[in-house]
Chains A and B, each alone.
Chain A
Amino acid sequence: MTEALLRTENLTKEVGALVAVDDVSISIGAGTLHSVIGPNGAGKTTLLNLLSGTLKPTEGRVYYKGDDITRVPVYDMIHRGIGRSFQITNIFPFLTVFENVRLAAQATGSDNFKFWRTAASFPDYTTRARSVLEDVGLADESLIPANALPHGDQRKLELAMILAPNPDVLLLDEPTAGMASEQVPELVDLISRIQAGTDKTVVLVEHNMNVVMNASDRITVMNHGSVLAEGSPSDIAANEVVQEAYLGSLYEEGPE
């Protein structure tokens, strides 16, 4: 395995009486696509919230490039190179599709307080937004308010907003959630293209087993907040505990 870029140590998050993430220690190799799977309520989203700084853990630590980032505020994450997308679409509903992405691009620049110039006069962000919208296939919808997009397109917008600042690490929480099945391959293809050929690291939470088995370098299986198993796709496919607990029926539908 490659050197760990992102690493957790005994990460625990208690929500009331429930332990949503329970003593999780994982390593994510630089440049890998690392999937996190598990049944509903396994704690996958909570784990991403802890990795992205949205939530602070009850116990344990998160390390990135060797630095302890456990208590780093959420707005610093993208500046360190960690971006995050949401399972439940989280956009600026009444702003245009273009402005949503332009804002995402502007965030990592150093022009946020140039209040005497118009935002349109910063080509870095406008061209970046346009090219990302082109990539995800939303170029023609640029000037529509984000909430007027159909659900599948909102998922693409969600992805565009994490791509725009060009982070080193992408934490993707079910990017295909709720998408029509014929749209899924297109989006997965896009994610693979982004990751392959660059040195980007992707942590992917995904329910679609086809996607996970084909695209992942490594897989972590979670259940009831803790890690049930970890390994390469073939390890996981062959793992009896995983099969019994959760995967069996799902994986039979998969390829290979």
Chain B
Amino acid sequence: MTEASPKRPNFLTRHGMLIFVVTLAILFPFIVGLIEGQSPATVIASEGGNSKFLMGLAVEVFILALFALSYDVLLGITGLLSFGHQMFFAVGAYGSGIMLKSLGWSLPLTLLGILVLAILQALLFGVVLPRVHGITFALVTLGIASMFWIVIQSPDVGDWTGGDVGLQGASSLVPAWINTNDHRFRFYLMALAVLVLFYLVFRRIVSSPTGAVMVANRENQDRALMLGYNTLWFKMFALVITSIAAAIAGMLWTMHQPIVTPTVAGLGWVVAALLMVLMGGIGTLTGAIIGAAMFRLLSFYLERWFGGGASLMLGVTYVLLVLFLPYGIVGTWRLKQARVSEGRKRLVALVTGKGG
């Protein structure tokens, strides 16, 4: 938060980077198509080839980015360490799969159902908030999420969840006009739009009075309480908004994948979110998106090039990144920027003889 400066930079300066990246993302399939010798019309029709495949990979990046973004708001902004965030995602994934497949709901109704479930599960997590703090909250949330992980694999609910095999075929029930197989380019644009929408909403929330208190809670909860903030409601708010984002990410996952496996409900899934956030830069929002892209692309290409040795190399990459860029990519970049401007200030002071 800075003081409102008298001259507000214009729209393009403020959003230039975002507009650039989004434009690039929209053009990306066509660029791939061009290299492959596909006409733009073929790309839009999503008939196949490398552009369709890479769009599919990019959709996974968008979904993981949305998941990581929600985790960053919870951990990096609000300071709540949850090891149950995978359940927020998995409830969206399994919930939408069951609604589409077993209940035969339409897509809009499923979306509505997911929103309701997202709020309910956030409240469930919120129930323990006043009682446990710090690492205990992490363990309790892990406990709740593990229970969910066990339940969805139980044979008793196998008809609905597919047990330990996973929930199959829900994506083919998505209406053709937005189906990831029939109209990959549309699905790609839709997933991109959802990610950008949540990014903008979260960015606004972080700079709002509410976000200011979430940050205050992260920095010094006791002081925030003493200032007169009942931090419980702000943490509750953070749980609700991040649960909605993660559940929508899960729903997109179900719409995109031929099969949803219990992996998305396991501890590994929240650890992945944590890694993405750490790589990109905790508490930076943009970092979560960059981290998700690195995470997905690294694991994809390392697997393609090195096969079995990929996970080891992935592990080494994380360790190196965290060792050398402890604030993540965006975090380190911002620190550098700050240092540069500090240096510039000192230089100005030296020249003008003011301050210093």
Contact = CB atoms under 8 A, between A and B. Distances in A.
Contacts of B219: 92-95
A102 B1 contact: yes
Given A93-B220, A95-B219, A99-B1, A114 B227 contact: no
A161 B227 CA distance: 8
Interface residues of B, number: 30
A184 B207 CA distance: 36
B229 A112 contact: yes
A234 interface: no
B4 A79 contact: no
Interface stretch (A59-67, A115-123, A190-198, A206-214): A115-123
Nearest to B338: A145
A92 B228 contact: no
Contact of A78 (B215, B216, B227): B227
Contacts of B215: 95
B3 to A, nearest CB: 6
A118 B228 contact: no
Interface string A123-149: 001100010000000000011000000
Contact of B225 (A74, A106, A117, A120): A74
B228 A77 contact: yes
A79 B230 CA distance: 11
A107 B4 contact: no
Contact of B1 (A74, A98, A115): A98
A93 B219 CA distance: 7
Nearest to A146: B219
B46 to A, nearest CB: 36
A117 B228 CA distance: 21
A115 B210 contact: yes
B208 A118 contact: yes
Given A98-B1, A113-B237, A75 B225 contact: yes
B213 interface: yes
A201 to B, nearest CB: 18
A27 interface: no
A91 interface: yes
Secondary structure at the B interface, as helix, strand, loop or mixed, is: helix
Interface residues of A, number: 44
B209 A114 contact: yes
B3 A118 contact: no
B229 A107 contact: yes
B223 interface: yes
B220 A130 contact: no
A188 B227 CA distance: 23
B204 interface: yes
B162 interface: no
B165 to A, nearest CB: 41
Given A94-B219, A99-B212, A120 B228 contact: no
A92 B231 CA distance: 15
Contacts of A220: none
Given A91-B223, A118-B204, A119-B211, A96 B229 contact: no
A54 interface: yes
A99 B207 CA distance: 12
A106 B208 contact: no
B212 A119 contact: yes
A108 interface: yes
Contacts of A179: none
Contacts of A76: 228
A111 B2 CA distance: 18
Nearest to A105: B227
B227 A115 contact: no
Contacts of B159: none
- CB-CB nearest 3 A-B residue pairs: A78-B228, A107-B228, A115-B210
Given A95-B215, A106-B213, 13 more contacts: A92-B220, A95-B216, A103-B216, A103-B227, A107-B228, A114-B210, A115-B208, A115-B237, A118-B207, A119-B207, A122-B209, A130-B3, A143-B3
6 contacts: A91-B223, A99-B212, A103-B212, A103-B213, A111-B209, A113-B233
